[in-house]
Amino acid sequence: MSNVVILHGDKRWRAVIEYRTDEGLESVDHYFEEISDLHLIIEHGPDWNRLIRCVVTLNRQDDGSEQNSDQMTRSYERG
C-alpha cells in the first residue's frame, strides 16, 4: 500500500497529513488543485480525531527556488 495519493496528475498543493494509529504514526501525502478541497480530504480520510498535524505547501518542482530568485531580482531592481 502506498502512502502517496495523487489525484489526477500534477496539482498545485501538497498536504502531508499525519495520523495516530494503533500501529503508530501514519503519514499520507495528498496532492490537490484547490485549497478549498483540503477539508474534503480530511473529512474522507481516517478518523480526523486521530489527526496529529497537516502541513500544506505549494507543490513545486523546484521547491520554490525559481520564485525566490525572481523575488530577489525584483527587490534588487527596486533598491
pLDDT tens track for 5-54: 544 457 889 999 999 999 999 999 999 999 999 999 999 988 989 999 99
Predicted model pTM: 0.65
**Tally of domains within the chain:** 1
Backbone angles phi, psi at 16, to 5 degrees: -105, 115
Give the residue numbers spanning the domain of 33.
4-78
Backbone angles phi, psi at 46, to 5 degrees: -60, 170
Transcribe 43-74 into DSSP letters: HHSS-GGGEEEEEEEE--TTTTHHHHHHHHHH
